[in-house]
Amino acid sequence: MDLAPFHLSYDELACHDAARTPFPRHLRETRLPQLAALFESLRRQCGDKPLRVLSAYRTPEHNAAAGRAATLRAAPWTWRHRGR
């Protein structure tokens, strides 16, 4: 998927493990379009200000090491809005 129209980069979406595992190719076509649209919507709602991506993808190993594997199985990304 071409991220040029979006305010995202594949580097931002990579896992934060030691290898910086890239966002998986099979998810780029199935889940990334929805994720990119969601980020753009959030950006617009925040006054078109940049959003900092803290975590968009974790390998199962990195997720387990973080101690959150049981709670994050549904999607390869999560987001939080502070104050809610």
Q: How many CB atoms within 10 Å of residue 57?
A: 25
The model carries a pTM of 0.63
- Residue 26 included in any domain: yes
Would you state the pLDDT for residue 83?
46
DSSP string, 41-67: HHHHHTTS-----S-S---HHHHHHTT
Structure tokens at 80: 């939080």
**Model confidence over 5-35: pLDDT tens digits?**
788 888 888 998 999 999 999 888 888 888 8
Would you state the pLDDT for residue 19?
93
- Residue 72 included in any domain: no
How many domains are contained in the chain?
Answer: 1
Check residue 40 and report its DSSP letter.
H
- Residue 1 included in any domain: no
Domain hosting 53: range is: 10-65
Rg, C-alpha atoms of the chain: 13
Tell how far CA 3 is from the center of its chain: 13
**Model confidence over 31-84: pLDDT tens digits?**
888 888 998 999 999 999 888 887 788 888 988 887 765 555 545 555 554 544
Would you state the pLDDT for residue 84?
43
